[in-house]
Amino acid sequence: MQTNEIFDSCARSAGDFAGVFEYDGETGYFYLYETSGDEGQKVRDSIHILSGALNFGEADISIRWDREEQKVGWFIKGVLWAVFDAQHHTKYGGSYQPGAKPSLPSESLVGF
């Protein structure tokens, strides 16, 4: 049985944190990953993105840092669905559903 696995990441220019998306064929999560953390302690936080089959492919997603490199966002087809604010230690979004719109507070969108 072949699975449709996806892994993508984007580190900020300082190299200390990265946004990481992982879909294992069944479940997808967006992680805030501390690159210099101790082994087993690198995942700082997670946002559940979806469970079940995908209606998008690896080419449809992107991970980007905002202009100030304080927030990292997960995008699907150019639409922001999840955000980690590394400066304020907050997270927003997730729960992707085909045909739905993301529910993110306006302050999480600034800078993207």
- pLDDT tens digits, one per residue of 5-29: 999 999 999 999 999 999 999 999 9
Average pLDDT over residues 30-40: 85
* Residue tagged 């997960």 (tokens): 74
Q: Which domain holds residue 77?
A: 6-109
What pTM does this model have? 0.91
CB atoms within 10 A of CB 64: 14
Number of domains in the chain: 1
25: CB partners within 8 A, 6+ apart = 3, 4, 5
Residue 1 belongs to some domain of the structure:
no
Average pLDDT over residues 62-84: 97
Residue 68 belongs to some domain of the structure:
yes
